Each structure stands twice: as structure tokens, then as C-alpha cells.
Amino acid sequence: MDPHHLVAMVNEIAAFFAGEEPGTAAANVANHLRRYWDPRMRRQIVEHAGTGGEGLSVVAKAGVELIAR
């Protein structure tokens, strides 16, 4: 899948949780990615974040970093 599309998707998820505390929002993004994203999609977004994460919002990147662990 196109990394730009994945970035847009995870940024939308992060925007949904933006009203929460940053740590909670990131945890909720990570939880959503674990529950609903295909493992290949998760792997691609983790790789993208690992190479700088261009285009990812702060909350989105924090959530992706949580699933990378």
C-alpha cells in the first residue's frame, strides 16, 4: 500500500483522539492499529516512521512508535 495513504489514514485516526492527553491519544492510536490494521499495513507504517515518518502528526508518530516495540 502507498505509504502516503497509510500516513493519511493514521493521521485521521490520531485526529480523532486529539482531544485526549498526548500519552492516552498515542495509546489509543496504537490500539486501533493493532486491532484493525492488517499486519502488512502495520509493518509498512512502522518502517515509514523508522525512516523519519514524513507527514505523520506528532500523535500519529507516537502511536506508531508504540506498535513498533
**What is the per-residue pLDDT across 9-33, written as a single tens digit (0 to 9) for each?**
999 999 999 999 989 999 999 999 9
- pTM comes to 0.94
**Long-range CB contacts (< 8 A, 24+ apart) of 48-57?**
48/3, 48/6, 48/7, 54/7, 55/4, 55/7, 55/8, 55/11, 56/7, 56/10, 56/11, 57/11, 57/14, 57/15
* Section 32-37 average pLDDT: 98
- Count of domains observed in the chain: 1
Q: What is the pLDDT of residue 36?
A: 98
Is residue 1 scored above 90 in pLDDT? no
Q: What is the pLDDT of residue 38?
A: 97
Note down the domain range covering 59: 3-68
